[in-house]
Amino acid sequence: MKHTVVALMQDHPGVLNRVASMFRRRGYNIDSLAVGGSETPGISRMTLVVDGEDTIVEQVTKQLYRLIEVLKVSDVSDDPHIARELVLAKIYAPASKRQEVSSLAEAFGGKIADVGQDSLMVELTTSPDQIDNFIELVRPFGIREMVRTGRIAMVRGTPTHAGDAYVKVA
Amino acid sequence: MTELTGAQIMCEALLREGVEVIFGYPGGCIMPFYDALVGYEQLHHVLVRHEQAAGHAAEGYARVTGKVGVCVATSGPGATNLVTAISDAMMDSVPIVAITGQVTSALIGRDAFQETDVTGITQPITKHNYLVTDVRELPRVFKEAFHIARTGRPGPVLIDIAKDAQQLRTTPVWPESVNLPGYKPTRDGNRKQIREAIKLIGMANKPLLMIGRGVMLSEAFPEVRELAERTGIPVITTLHGIGAFPEDHPLSLGMSGMHGWVHNNKAIQECDLLFNIGGRFDDRVTGKTSTFAPHAKIIHVDIDPSEIGKNIRVDVPIVGDAKRILTILLEELPARDSGDWLLHIREMQAVHAAKQQYTRPETPQFMPHDVFAVMTKMINERGNYHICTDVGQHQMWAAQLIDWLEPHTHITSGGAGTMGFALPAAVGAQFGDPGSTVWAVAGDGGFQMNIQELATIMQEGLPIKIAIINNGYLGMVRQWQQLFHDKRYSATPMWSPDFVKVADAYGMPGMSISRAEDVADAIATAYATSGPMLLEFRVEQEANVFPMVAPGASISDMIMSDPQPVLA
Ligand SMILES: Cc1ncc(C[n+]2csc(CCOP(=O)(O)OP(=O)(O)O)c2C)c(N)n1
Ligand SMILES: [Mg+2]
């Protein structure tokens, strides 16, 4: 089963390397990893998608906690949460196909970020499943280039995974 | 406040952490520190002959004292030479701080002379590490490093310091406390789980205690003893639990596992409760995990939550410090009796005779067992000792055949199994406990891996006693070749120099012993010699360590003796 794990960590040089190196060394299967700022200055927030049994995810969590700079780790898979991913896809679209591609993008709630000679760049932010669906639908047109950010996630309702507890952190 | 150089701040920081001795080796990028050291006579620097030895000496010191050991090396090759010892300390949870020089910050990343990415290399084998390029960070980093090394599950911390950060001046700002929001080791243990454990102890018919290095690290000796005596539960020690429970105690069963006693492995397979305190269910302990302790409920105390459920399923996990947890547990634990169960284990044990005959084949040869039989008697008569063993057959014989009575007497490389450990570890151990007798017990192979440290011993005037168990082979590997590779002795026969002459060249007295009847005199001579002494025991070359569980086999499948495997 795929688990979505959210981790808060001090924004120090080398932290990402520590996390990545730990995953490699322990042989964990990471489907995606997205890291960036959080609401608290000095604290980064990482969202991981881990494939494995519950016991594996428990080990991943514990091993993350062993890293001194990791502050909090939660498996949010079973909590109601919003998961999003952003994709940029440059799709082959000569004039004759443009309309079709842009209405597909629109149907998914995406937009056209750039128009080229014979291509359209679609920008789409939605759930990872929807992104998969979208990609399958546009594949026949020809995808020239594509980048996905990896999943980011947040639990619904009153924040349960905020960095406030650590605001003293420099 | 006056300005200090970074190097002086390093020395001040070491003093603030209570450091008295450091083991190291100089070089270009750490020269500012060595220069400052001249002004700090309180910091005794021990010049080793290879940086690996500095690391193991720091470990030996830490393993004997429980304090943080410190080693120092220069950048590049100096730092990489520390790597083996750092990983050894990581595997065995030994608190050390390793300090390495790094090229000047402006040169970092340019493949400068003797530049190596030491923080990168040591990332997976340190508890934490730092690269310092700003002199103002030194006071905080040192305080954090020592705190991390010694608290929670202890381990190695490395501080890599750019040369310019050692040279620049600043007025140090010494932090009052550490601010590590992501590092809060649990110490007390969950009360509910502790109560659950008490319940299981009350219900069990065949309970066993297994104690590991966590007991040693938290010094939970009286608590373990009280627990055992109040309940009558017999006690198994892992390799690193040796000494945490006296082996002359009626409830002591000794070691289990790959070279543990048959009755212990059988008891584990029969027991209905296994209470593991501070052991990490290493594969040398469990054998094949799917068949390990099949009937047992398992209580596991460990300060590192990631150890729980890592190798073996656990019914009652208790995360925290062994001493604290046991103290709380003992407040409520009722007495019980486990006499019948103990009797049953003793009956299984009685099938075999005393330790000696347990494993020593009937032969007129000079067997390694003969050395240890005399040694255990003589060292225990005299007391106050630390025995640093190396890695191989002699290590297992020492663990099996010496009667271990006191904590911190048995110093060995368990998790990493680092050959070459014993001699430098003995150097550190002697500094940790100057009044004691420190023995380095090594094989002919491992001794030659850090033989150069004889010079360190002489330069420092250390009265270390060395026992080489010379079997002319990389014995443990040869044993595996004999048992599992049709006796193809590939790259295990080993020529060695005349060890007594080698000792002599270093100015150390030495003696070679080839007969069982000469062992006692030799050991007596070593004790009567005020300085160091080397004893070489030329033992039977193809003696084997039994009992033995083949790698990957179930712990109940024990090979009892030569020549062909016989299942117990
Ligand atoms: C640094 C290192 N290299 C290789 C090994 C593999 N190894 C384990 S035991 C052993 C043989 C040790 O021989 P010796 O020191 O003579 O001790 P003996 O087993 O003969 O008592 C070897 C090579 C090791 N543990 N450590
Ligand atoms: Mg040998």
Q: Which CATH number covers residue A99?
A: 3.30.70.1150
pLDDT of residue B567: 39
* Beta-ladder partners of A34: A47
Let me know whether A20 and A55 are in one domain: yes
pLDDT of residue B253: 96
Atom of ligand 1 nearest to the CA of B390: 15
| CA quadruple B301, B302, B307, B313: dihedral, nearest 10 | 0
In a domain, A160, yes or no: no
Q: Is B476 a catalytic residue?
A: yes
Which of B12, B17, B51, B270 is the catalytic position?
Answer: B51
CB neighbours (10 Å) of residue B442?
30
The answer to whether the Cβ–Cβ distance between B123 and A21 falls below 8 Å is yes
pLDDT tens-place string over residues A93-131: 999 999 999 999 999 999 999 999 999 999 999 999 999
Residue spans of beta strands (DSSP E) within A11-64: 30-37, 43-51
| B394 Cα to the center of ligand 2, angstroms | 8
B204 in A contact zone (CB under 8 Å) = no
Please tell me the distance from the alpha carbon of residue B227 to that of residue B245, in angstroms, as a whole number. Answer: 11
Please tell me the distance from the alpha carbon of residue B471 to that of residue B443, in angstroms, as a whole number. Answer: 8
Confidence of residue B38 (pLDDT cuts 50, 70, 90): very high
Please tell me the distance from the alpha carbon of residue B126 to that of residue B9, in angstroms, as a whole number. Answer: 23
Nearest C-alpha of chain B: how many angstroms from A32?
Answer: 21
Q: Is B546 a catalytic residue?
A: no
Q: Read off the pLDDT of each residue in B258-285 and give the average, rounded to a whole number.
A: 96
The answer to whether the Cβ–Cβ distance between A67 and B182 falls below 8 Å is yes
The answer to whether the Cβ–Cβ distance between B128 and A168 falls below 8 Å is no
Let me know whether A71 and A27 are in one domain: yes
Q: Which domain holds residue A9?
A: 2-75
User: Residues A59, A29: contact at Cβ < 8 Å?
Assistant: no
Prior bond to B547 cis, omega within 30? Answer: yes
pLDDT tens-place string over residues B482-537: 999 999 999 999 999 999 999 999 999 999 999 999 999 999 999 999 999 999 99
What percent of chain B is predicted at pLDDT more than 70? 98
Going by C-alpha positions, the residue among B408, B402, B399, B458 that lies closest to residue B432 is B408
Q: Read off the pLDDT of each residue in A74-82 and give the average, rounded to a whole number.
A: 93
**Element spanning B273, H or E:** strand B273-277
Please tell me the distance from the alpha carbon of residue B38 to that of residue B20, in angstroms, as a whole number. Answer: 14
User: Residues B278, B211: contact at Cβ < 8 Å?
Assistant: yes
B552 in A contact zone (CB under 8 Å) = no
B247 lines ligand 1 (CB under 6 A): no
What percent of chain A is predicted at pLDDT more than 90? 89
**Which of B187-196, B390-399, B532-541, B558-567 bottoms out in mean pLDDT, i.e. has the lowest?**
B558-567
Q: What is the DSSP string of B76-103?
A: THHHHHHHHHHHHHHHTT--EEEEEEE-
Nearest C-alpha of chain B: how many angstroms from A63?
Answer: 6
Let me know whether A57 and A9 are in one domain: yes
In a domain, A14, yes or no: yes
Nearest C-alpha of chain B: how many angstroms from A80?
Answer: 26
**Element spanning B462, H or E:** none
pLDDT of residue B1: 67
Q: Is B59 a catalytic residue?
A: no
Note the CATH number of domain B366-542.
3.40.50.970
Q: Read off the pLDDT of each residue in B152-172 and give the average, rounded to a whole number.
A: 98
Let me know whether A97 and A45 are in one domain: no
Helix (H, G, I), strand (E, B) or coil at B294: coil
Give the nearest chain A residue to B178 (CA atoms). Answer: A169
Query: From the CA of B475, which ligand is nearest?
Result: 1
Q: Residue B292: pLDDT above 60?
A: yes
pLDDT of residue B353: 60
The architecture (CATH level 2) of B4-170 comes to: 3-Layer(aba) Sandwich (3.40)
Cα A121 → chain centroid: 20
Confidence of residue B566 (pLDDT cuts 50, 70, 90): very low
Q: Read off the pLDDT of each residue in B283-289 and give the average, rounded to a whole number.
A: 96
B124 in A contact zone (CB under 8 Å) = yes
Let me know whether A97 and A114 are in one domain: yes
Q: Read off the pLDDT of each residue in A10-26 and give the average, rounded to a whole number.
A: 93
Average pLDDT of every residue of chain B: 96
Pairing of strands A119-126, A81-92: antiparallel
The domain tally of chain A equals 2
Could you say which of A19, A48, A75 is where a domain stops? A75
Q: Residue A160: pLDDT above 70?
A: no
Distant-in-sequence, close-in-space partners of B290: CB < 8 Å, separation ≥ 6: none
Confidence of residue A169 (pLDDT cuts 50, 70, 90): very low
Q: Is B564 a catalytic residue?
A: no
B119 in A contact zone (CB under 8 Å) = yes
Let me know whether A137 and A114 are in one domain: yes
Please tell me the distance from the alpha carbon of residue B95 to that of residue B75, in angstroms, as a whole number. Answer: 22
Which residue minimizes the CA distance to atom 2 of ligand 1?
B419
Average pLDDT of every residue of chain A: 92
Confidence of residue B568 (pLDDT cuts 50, 70, 90): very low
Please tell me the distance from the alpha carbon of residue A33 to that of residue A6, in angstroms, as a whole number. Answer: 10
Ligand 1 probe mutation, B239, B371, B419, B492, most atoms within 8 A of CB = B419
Q: Residue B565: pLDDT above 50?
A: no
Which chain B residues contact residue A170 at CB under 8 A? 179
Let me know whether A94 and A121 are in one domain: yes
In a domain, A121, yes or no: yes
Output B159 or A54, whichever has higher pLDDT. Answer: B159
Let me know whether A69 and A86 are in one domain: no
Hey, what amino acid is at A37?
G
CATH number at residue A56: 3.30.70.260
pLDDT of residue B562: 80
pLDDT tens-place string over residues B110-134: 999 999 999 999 999 999 999 999 9
Let me know whether A69 and A93 are in one domain: no
In a domain, A62, yes or no: yes
Nearest C-alpha of chain A: how many angstroms from B110?
Answer: 18
Q: Which fold has domain B191-353?
A: Rossmann fold (3.40.50)
In a domain, A89, yes or no: yes
pLDDT of residue B104: 98
A·B CB contacts under 8 A = 44
Output B383 or B349, whichever has higher pLDDT. Answer: B383
B443 lines ligand 1 (CB under 6 A): yes
pLDDT of residue B113: 95
pLDDT of residue A163: 64
User: Residues B119, B91: contact at Cβ < 8 Å?
Assistant: no
pLDDT of residue B563: 63
Q: Residue B278: pLDDT above 50?
A: yes
Q: Residue A57: pLDDT above 80?
A: yes
CA–CA distance from A69 to each of A44, B141, B184, B422, B480 (Å)?
Answer: 10, 14, 11, 34, 43
Q: Read off the pLDDT of each residue in B53-79 and give the average, rounded to a whole number.
A: 98
What backbone torsions phi and psi does residue A34 show, to the nearest 5 degrees? -130, 135
Let me know whether A69 and A99 are in one domain: no
Q: Residue A44: pLDDT above 70?
A: yes
Spell B20-44 as b/e; 16+ CB within 10 A means b: ebbbbbbbebbbbbbebbeebeebe
In a domain, A169, yes or no: no
First to last CA, chain B: 71
Helix axes B221-231 and B322-332, enclosed angle (nearest 10): 30
Let me know whether A98 and A139 are in one domain: yes
In a domain, A93, yes or no: yes
Q: Residue B137: pLDDT above 90?
A: yes
Domain boundaries in chain B?
Answer: 4-170, 191-353, 366-542
In a domain, A159, yes or no: no
pLDDT of residue A168: 53
Please tell me the distance from the alpha carbon of residue B529 to that of residue A165, in angstroms, as a whole number. Answer: 62
Q: Read off the pLDDT of each residue in B62-74 and give the average, rounded to a whole number.
A: 98
Prior bond to B493 cis, omega within 30? Answer: no
Q: Is B453 a catalytic residue?
A: no
**Element spanning B318, H or E:** strand B316-319
Which of B67, B127, B143, B163 is the catalytic position?
Answer: B163
Confidence of residue A170 (pLDDT cuts 50, 70, 90): very low
